[in-house]
Amino acid sequence: MLKNIMMLFRTWVRFAVLLFIGLLITMGLIGAFYKPIYEVTINGEVIGYSKDKSALQVRINEYMEGGNEENQNVAFTQIDSMPEYKLCLLKRGITTNDDEIFAKITNSGVTYYTYYTILVDNEEKLHVADFSTAEQIVEQLKEKSSNNIDDISITKSYDTQLKEFTSIETAVAQLYEEKPVVVAAAPTVTKTSVSKNMSYKNQPITISFIRPVSGTITSRFGSISRVRSGAHTGLDIATKTGTPIAAAASGTVTYSGYQGSLGYLIKISHGNGIETYYGHCSKLYAKEGQYVNQGEIIAAVGSTGNSTGPHLHLEVRVNGVAYNPQNYVY
């Protein structure tokens, strides 16, 4: 009996060994003639084969997010139909075509470009590649005391067609406006306000302001943007979240709270109808009714309300009318 059991056991062992060897041989034959690969389809149509679906998809994602080394002004690319991947076996000798797949997918997308537009009195005049170039143009016009400097603004733009860019030298020559010679007997000429609540005129203000924060001016008074319903009533100064905001002048806090698109907001009355607004704050330190001295910390920079990034929205108002803060500060 025991002998029969041992013979039966040895038979099963030999069978298992032969089965394992057969499996190895089969896998070897498959590996010799076939290789694992990914079939790539779009909307059910096969467009090629990829050896590494992860690397291909990462490449496509980076392209969609604006990773285009050939053109730094590409903001992003919109691709409606993304590829699907299916693992399969292909005969050796059939080559993959990742580059062709990538080209087919990206060529079907819509590319959006970003650039900066310089406006005069809210009318588009010319385009430049980056904000630094736009600022240099405005600074040179300011140095030359161009007559239209208060009417000039910068806005970030997006389009499916890349605009033709203007050099700094050409832009300054095109935009510069010589100040008119004023005859003593002639009446005083003032610039037209852009709305009933905004003015480009210099309002006679007897107090001296200081800068509430240091940073980069990203949107000037009167500029037009898709994120706003009308012309910009203040000056945007970009800096990191939490940066202390100082009172531009001494006065009484008339509002400290949340107010619509301006987010957390502080208003300070300086007397004679003069007010300053500090919008998009992350924290409010000064309380309503509190008297603050010039330079006293009243809030912290944030991005609350209708905001695309951390910055201070600064307004100067006289009797409720908004005036260009750059006439008095920055």
Residue 33: its pLDDT value, please?
52
Give the C-alpha separation, 47 to 105, whole Å.
Answer: 9
Range ranked top by mean pLDDT from 45-54, 213-222, 279-288: 279-288
% of residues, the chain, pLDDT over 90: 32
- Rounded to whole angstroms, the Cα distance separating 53 from 98 reads 9
The yes-or-no verdict on residue 195 having pLDDT over 60 is: no
pLDDT at 229 over 70: no
Q: What is the pLDDT of residue 304?
A: 94
pLDDT average, residue stretch 111-138: 89
Distances (CA, A) of 102 to 36, 61, 62, 67, 79: 20, 11, 12, 14, 12
Report angle CA 253, 231, 177 to the nearest 5 degrees: 115
Distance CA 144, CA 59 (A): 47
- Give the pLDDT band of residue 149 (cuts 50, 70, 90): confident
Name 211's Cβ contacts closer than 8 Å, sequence gap at least 6: 246, 248, 329, 330
46, 47, 53, 55, 110 from 105: Cα distances, Å: 12, 9, 14, 15, 11
Mean of pLDDT values over 131-138 = 91
Mean pLDDT of 90-106: 78
Round to whole Å and give the CA distance between 264 and 228: 17
Contacts of residue 64, defined as CB under 8 A and 6 or more positions apart, other chains included, come to 76, 77, 78, 79, 109
pLDDT for res 189: 34
Residue with tokens 């500090």: 278
> Higher confidence at residue 200 or residue 310?
310
Residue ranges of domains in the chain, CATH in brackets? 31-108 (no CATH), 114-181 (no CATH), 201-330 (2.70.70.10)
How far is 234 from 321, CA to CA, in rounded Å? 11
Q: Is 47 exposed, middle or buried (0-12, 13-18, 19+ CB in 10 A)?
A: middle
The span from the CA of 309 to the CA of 241, in Å, is 9
Question: Checking DSSP bridges between strand 198-199 and strand 321-323, what pairing results, if any?
Answer: parallel
Largest CA distance in the chain: 135
Per-residue pLDDT for 247 more than 90? yes
Q: In this predicted model, which residue has the larger pLDDT, 55 or 195?
A: 55
Mean pLDDT of the chain: 81
The mean pLDDT value for 46-54 works out to 87
Residue 22 is predicted with a pLDDT of 61
Q: What average pLDDT score do residues 89-93 get?
A: 62
Contacting residues for 44 by C-beta, under 8 A, at least 6 apart: none
Q: Does 192 have pLDDT greater than 50?
A: no
Which of the listed ranges 224-228, 249-253, 269-273 does the model predict with the highest average pLDDT? 249-253
Token representation of residue 22: 């057969």
- Cα separation, 24 vs 201, in Å, equals 88
Residue 127 has pLDDT above 50, yes or no: yes
The answer on pLDDT for 240 being more than 80 is yes
Q: What is the mean pLDDT of residues 54-77?
A: 78
